[in-house]
Amino acid sequence: MHHFHQLKTTKVAKETNDSVHIAFEVPQNLRHEFAFKQGQYLNLRFFFDGEDLRRSYSIINAPSEGNSDLEILVKHLDGGKVSTYLNNELKVGDLVDVMAPMGHFYTNYHSSNEKTYIGLAAGSGISPVLSNLKEALFQEPKSNAYLFFSNKSLSDIIFKKEIDELARKFNGRLHVIYILSREKHFEDELFEGRISPEKLDLLFSRFTEIPVQESTYFICGPSEMIKGIADYLKNDRKVPSLQIMYEYYAAPDDEENAEMSDEFKAIPNIESMVTVIIDDDEYSFHLNSKKNSILDQALQEKLPVPFACKGGVCCTCKAQVMDGEVFMEKNFALTEDEVEKGFVLTCQCHPTTNVVMLNYDV
């Protein structure tokens, strides 16, 4: 199981008016544990007025850049305690609780590949997309990348300077199109509005060299954007699902995620004895199947269970079912393969048998 470590900030710099670019130094003794893949994220933990607050932020760097610091971008959210603190109060040299990198938003690269990678990002969704595109360009000299990046205005474009420098550095292998939703700079609808299926139609009709069906897509932004684009690529453009990778900002907010789904209502109302294995220790507690999630109950029991988003998005609370059965309400993080192997997101799980055992150490 992953644990938090205190890392020192080496950079805290305003990126745009409402976002901050933060770098953490990884000491030599933690380099192995903090080795990362492009597109992964870091969980950060803060205690404000006794409240344990956790947030996950995608890593911006690419492993092949050779920078041992880990960099993230934090966008300020109105009313967000953690994002306000990080944007307004964090200083260089401060220590922050950080968990080793996690996440699956990546593909593996190979130097002999000749592929096309397409990044579709909105706002702060750029971080994991940029990390992936950079790694692809560093590792695959014969591959190309396209970045379609939407923001409200020119001054809101996150990492514009770095992206423009990368486009120069990779000399024709990285093509960048900025799309602005609240400003108009050219008499051309290509650069206006938001990323949508209609916009992609237009983009593909202009960039006719893009092999639409063979390309690999990295999508990060609001859930409606992700769903709309992923469906369009799969259904209208017949892109194989394995070539469409996406990362949610937060759990999609739609009817499937209503307070209590029909599937949840249908599970049996039972009392269960839940046992969890954490760092080789076993802890047991009673839980009614209709009440708390397994993670919430474990937290109430003051057990050291890992978590961050509590929304089925980040994967931090992953465990493997060793005995019994559970019902998982949402899953935006585990792969089909992991689910088949019995992995679950415990923040989304309720017991459906009288005895359940879960292992967090796997």
Give the 3-state secondary structure of residue 221. Answer: strand
Asked if residues 203 and 190 have their Cβ atoms less than 8 Å apart, the reply is yes
Q: For residues 235 and 92, what is the distance between their CA atoms, to the nearest angstrom?
A: 47
Which residue among 158, 344, 345, 358 contacts ligand FES (CB under 6 A)? 345
Q: How far is the CB of 299 from ligand FES (least distance, A)?
A: 11
Q: Is 22 in the site for ligand FES (CB under 6 A)?
A: no
Q: Concatenated DSSP letters for 2-50?
A: --EEEEEEEEEEEEETTEEEEEEE--GGGTTTT---TT-EEEEEEEETT
What is the closest distance, in whole angstroms, from the C-beta atom of residue 277 to ligand FES in the complex?
Answer: 17
Q: Which of 42, 305, 313, 319 binds ligand FES (CB under 6 A)?
A: 313
Q: Which of 133, 333, 344, 358 binds ligand FES (CB under 6 A)?
A: 333
Nearer to ligand FES, 44 or 314 (CB): 314
- Nearer to ligand FES by Cβ, of 145 and 314: the residue is 314
Among left, alpha and beta (phi > 0; psi -120 to 50; other), residue 200 is alpha
- Rule CB under 6 A: say whether 102 interacts with ligand FES: no
Q: Which is nearer to ligand FES, 179 or 315 (CB)?
A: 315
Instruction: Determine the interface stretch with ligand FES among 4-12, 166-174, 272-280, 308-316 (rule: CB under 6 A).
Output: 308-316
**Cβ(305)–Cβ(299) below 8 Å:** yes
Spatial strand order of the sheet with 41-48 comes to: 51-58, 41-48, 95-99, 4-16, 19-25, 70-75
Question: Strand 326-328 relative to strand 349-351: parallel, antiparallel, unpaired?
Answer: antiparallel
Choices 62-70, 150-158, 239-247, 315-323 (CB under 6 A): range interacting with ligand FES: 315-323
Torsions phi, psi of 4, nearest 5?
A: -80, 145
Residue 293 interacts with ligand FES (CB under 6 A): yes or no: no
Q: Which of 312, 321, 326, 328 binds ligand FES (CB under 6 A)?
A: 312
Q: Does 358 bind ligand FES (CB under 6 A)?
A: no
CB of 139 to ligand FES, least distance (A): 29
Contact 311, 250 (CB under 8 A): yes
d(CA 347, CA 297): 9
Residue 331 burial (CB count, 10 A):
18
Contact region for ligand FES (CB under 6 A) — 12-20, 63-71, 198-206, 305-313? Answer: 305-313
120 lies in the binding site for ligand FES (CB under 6 A): no
Stretch that binds ligand FES, among 19-27, 74-82, 116-124, 313-321 (CB under 6 A): 313-321
DSSP H or E stretch at residue 160 = helix 160-169
Q: Tell me: does residue 115 bind ligand FES (CB under 6 A).
A: no
Q: Say how far apart CA 316 and CA 303 lie, in whole Å.
A: 15
Residues in 138-197 that interact with ligand FES by CB under 6 A? none
| Residue count, binding to ligand FES (CB under 6 A) | 13
Residue 307 interacting with ligand FES (CB under 6 A):
yes
Q: Own/partner pairs for 264-270, CB < 8 Å, 24+ apart? A: 264/327, 264/329, 264/350, 267/327, 267/350, 267/352, 268/352, 270/351, 270/352, 270/353, 270/354
Q: By CB under 6 A, tell whether 321 contacts ligand FES.
A: no
**In this chain, which residue has its C-beta nearest to ligand FES?**
347
List of residues contacting ligand FES (CB under 6 A): 307-310, 312-317, 333, 345, 347
